[in-house]
Amino acid sequence: MRAMLLLGALCAACPAPAEMLVATRTIRGQTILGPADVAVAEGEMPGALIDPAEAIGQEARVNLYAGRPILAGDIGAPAIIERNQIVTLLYRNGAVNIAADARALDRAGVGDALRVMNLASRNTVTGYVAPDGTVTVGASTRP
């Protein structure tokens, strides 16, 4: 009985096995992740995802390699704006709303910061992508 208590005390001090999310195959950037693309494996790495639900339906921002951990920065919302696409740029500051056409300088998903070039003035600004595909700048920038 005493040996069991001693063993229990020792195991309480032992680190619990950790789990992390890994890619099941090599996945190219800009690929939408499905259930077959991720698996839970034993191991521990700071910043690695642990729940498959966090990754499924997200887009790989970088190449993911089989068996390697998937980090939070490796995936993101699927892009709804492509590079060089013409988008509506909205300036919002209180009651003032101004709309202009702009060219996207990169790919971006909902909530991502995106640099765009105003087609009228040729100025480059950074705004945030709204769910409807517009890019907002100004005091109320984050959708």
Measured between alpha carbons, how far is 102 from 88 in angstroms, rounded to an integer?
6
On the question of pLDDT at 128 being above 80, the answer is yes
Instruction: Tell me the pTM.
Output: 0.68
Measured between alpha carbons, how far is 71 from 122 in angstroms, rounded to an integer?
36
Q: Are strands 108-109 and 96-104 parallel, antiparallel or unpaired?
A: unpaired
State the pLDDT at residue 103. 98
State the pLDDT at residue 141. 58
Tokens of 92: 């919002």
Angle (CA) 56 43 66, round 5°: 50
The DSSP code sequence of the chain is -HHHHHHHHHHHHSPPPPEEEEESS-B-TTPBP-GGGEEEEE---TTB---GGGTTTPEESS-B-BTSBPBGGGEESPEEE-TT-EEEEEEEETTEEEEEEEEESS-EETT-EEEEEETTT--EEEEEE-TTS-EEEETT---
Digit-coded pLDDT (tens) for 57-115: 999 999 999 999 999 999 988 999 999 999 999 998 888 889 999 999 999 999 899 99
State the pLDDT at residue 20. 93
Digit-coded pLDDT (tens) for 78-94: 999 999 999 999 998 88
State the pLDDT at residue 89. 96
